[in-house]
């Protein structure tokens, strides 16, 4: 096993230019962990939130984590088990695995690297039918959609609201997915279809063929149409943008419906109560067992991961620049091996 590896680190917060490709020690595995030789890394918004020190996100101060520097960003990987720590059952050297590591634990997941020490409980076997780039692209977006829509899967306190988040039945229901072409949106759309929902997908015009291919029943181009003017009597809005603007979806829901925003900022509790709409959110948590269930759907093609773009690990800054342009279709990945 080599003692040094290449990784991407930041020594100060800022734009994509603070990401430095450099040599660092290979991490050591602790009990309960395996060393993964990383083949691909999936990018997620928390990667750029961390990079800029949580300056631009309108997060309440209590949700702004403090990040020790230097830090290796990233949480999602796919790769091969290279070493196994004590007390690990179910994984052996040579296994292909994927996972979202130690989330939420800001700055501790350290995925932008050639090797990563991964809690075995955060990993699942990589589906044989997809490649490492697709597998690395799935965990955070897939687990977010899973924990919002299918099953929460844990009893940890909810940092975003006093109550535990509870998914609602989807079979035969109408689900509107806002931001449907993005990482969380395109997987949420497919999970809702898998569970028997009729899906209205909201995205800019360039994604419409893509969304039809994923199974969207109806598509709204938010650049030309106000969603709340045309969508009515919806059972569930899964808003993968969230923030204060999510309140406008209350008008699209019927009494008894639910609004699930993925990002904090909802501030219309009185209107929601008046309209009889439940508003609920949660923060995604690492979960290897749920990922194993999702792996089955990825393997048999029920759920497909789309790759927006791919960059070598050394070009992580270019990948972050791509993210800053927005309009992401699927996922951005880094290739490592």
Q: Does the protein bind ligand NAP through residue 328 (CB under 6 A)?
A: yes
* Residue 218 to residue 176: CA distance in whole angstroms: 9
Q: Smallest gap, in angstroms, from Cβ of residue 98 to ligand NAP?
A: 16
3-state per-residue secondary structure call for the chain: CCCEEEEEEECCCCCHHHCEEEEEECCCCCCCEEEEEEEEEECCHHHHHHHCCCCCCCCCHHHCCCCCCCECCCCEEEEEEEEECCCCCCCCCCCEEEEECCCCCCCCCCCCECEEEEEHHHEEECCCCCCHHHHHHCHHHHHHHHHHHCCCCCCCCCCCCCCCCCCCCCCCCEEEEECCCCHHHHHHHHHHHHCCCEEEEEECHHHHHHHHHCCCCEEEECCCCCHHHHCCCEEEEEECCCCHHHHHHHHHEEEEEEEEECCCCCCCHHHHHHHCCEECCCCCCCCHHHHHHHHHHHHCCCCCCCEEEEEEHHHHHHHHHHHHCCCCCCEEEEECC
Q: Smallest gap, in angstroms, from Cβ of residue 166 to ligand NAP?
A: 15
Name the segment binding ligand NAP (CB under 6 A); options: 26-34, 59-67, 126-134, 183-191.
183-191
Q: Does the protein bind ligand NAP through residue 182 (CB under 6 A)?
A: yes
Interacting residues with ligand NAP between 33 and 52 (CB under 6 A)? 44-45
Q: Which of 194, 190, 242 is nearest to 58 (CA)?
A: 242
Q: Smallest gap, in angstroms, from Cβ of residue 46 to ligand NAP?
A: 6
Q: Smallest gap, in angstroms, from Cβ of residue 236 to ligand NAP?
A: 16
Q: Report residue 292 CA to chain centroid gap.
A: 16
Q: Which is nearer to ligand NAP, 82 or 293 (CB)?
A: 293
Q: Which of 134, 141, 286, 287 binds ligand NAP (CB under 6 A)?
A: 141
Q: Which is nearer to ligand NAP, 37 or 188 (CB)?
A: 188
Q: Smallest gap, in angstroms, from Cβ of residue 2 to ligand NAP?
A: 32
Interacting residues with ligand NAP between 193 and 232 (CB under 6 A)? 202-204, 207, 222
Q: Which is nearer to ligand NAP, 24 or 241 (CB)?
A: 241
Q: Does the protein bind ligand NAP through residue 303 (CB under 6 A)?
A: no
Query: Binding string, 3-22, against ligand NAP, x = CB under 6 A?
Result: --------------------
Residue that is written with structure tokens 């990922």 in the block: 291
Name the segment binding ligand NAP (CB under 6 A); options: 72-80, 119-127, 192-200, 323-331.
323-331
Q: Does the protein bind ligand NAP through residue 107 (CB under 6 A)?
A: no
| Contact between residue 140 and residue 101 where contact means Cβ atoms under 8 Å apart | no
Q: Does the protein bind ligand NAP through residue 179 (CB under 6 A)?
A: yes
Q: Smallest gap, in angstroms, from Cβ of residue 80 to ligand NAP?
A: 26
Query: Binding string, 243-282, against ligand NAP, x = CB under 6 A?
Result: -------------------xx-------------------
Interface residues with ligand NAP (CB under 6 A) are 44-45, 140-141, 144, 178-179, 181-185, 202-204, 207, 222, 240-241, 262-263, 283-284, 326-328
């Amino acid at each position: 096993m080599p003692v040094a590896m290449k990784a991407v680190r930041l020594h100060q917060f800022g734009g994509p230019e603070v990401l430095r490709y450099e040599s660092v020690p290979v991490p050591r595995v602790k009990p309960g962990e395996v060393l993964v030789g990383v083949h691909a890394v999936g990018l997620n918004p928390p990667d750029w939130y961390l990079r800029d020190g949580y300056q631009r996100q309108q997060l309440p101060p209590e949700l702004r984590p403090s990040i020790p520097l230097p830090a290796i960003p990233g949480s999602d990987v796919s790769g091969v088990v290279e070493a196994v720590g004590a007390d690990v059952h179910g994984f052996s050297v040579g296994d292909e695995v994927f996972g979202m590591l130690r989330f939420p634990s800001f700055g501790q997941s350290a995925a932008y690297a050639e090797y990563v020490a991964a809690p075995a409980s955060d990993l699942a076997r990589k589906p044989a039918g997809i490649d490492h780039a697709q597998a690395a692209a799935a965990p955070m977006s897939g687990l977010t959609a899973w924990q919002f829509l299918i099953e929460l899967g844990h009893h940890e306190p909810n940092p975003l609201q006093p109550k535990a988040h509870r998914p609602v039945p989807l079979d035969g229901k109408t689900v509107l997915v806002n931001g449907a072409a993005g990482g969380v949106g395109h997987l949420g759309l497919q999970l809702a279809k898998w569970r028997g929902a009729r899906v209205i997908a909201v995205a800019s015009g360039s994604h419409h063929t893509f969304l039809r291919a994923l199974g969207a029943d109806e598509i709204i181009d938010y650049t030309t149409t106000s969603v709340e003017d045309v969508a009515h009597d919806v059972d569930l809005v899964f808003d993968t943008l969230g923030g204060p603007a999510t309140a406008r979806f209350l008008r699209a829901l019927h009494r008894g419906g639910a609004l699930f925003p993925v990002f904090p900022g909802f501030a219309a509790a009185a209107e929601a109560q008046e309209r009889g709409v439940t508003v609920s959110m949660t923060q995604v948590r690492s979960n290897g067992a749920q990922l194993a269930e999702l792996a089955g759907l990825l393997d048999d093609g029920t759920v497909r991961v789309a790759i927006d773009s791919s960059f070598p690990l050394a070009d992580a800054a270019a990948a972050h620049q791509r993210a800053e342009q927005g309009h992401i279709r699927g996922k951005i990945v880094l290739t490592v091996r």
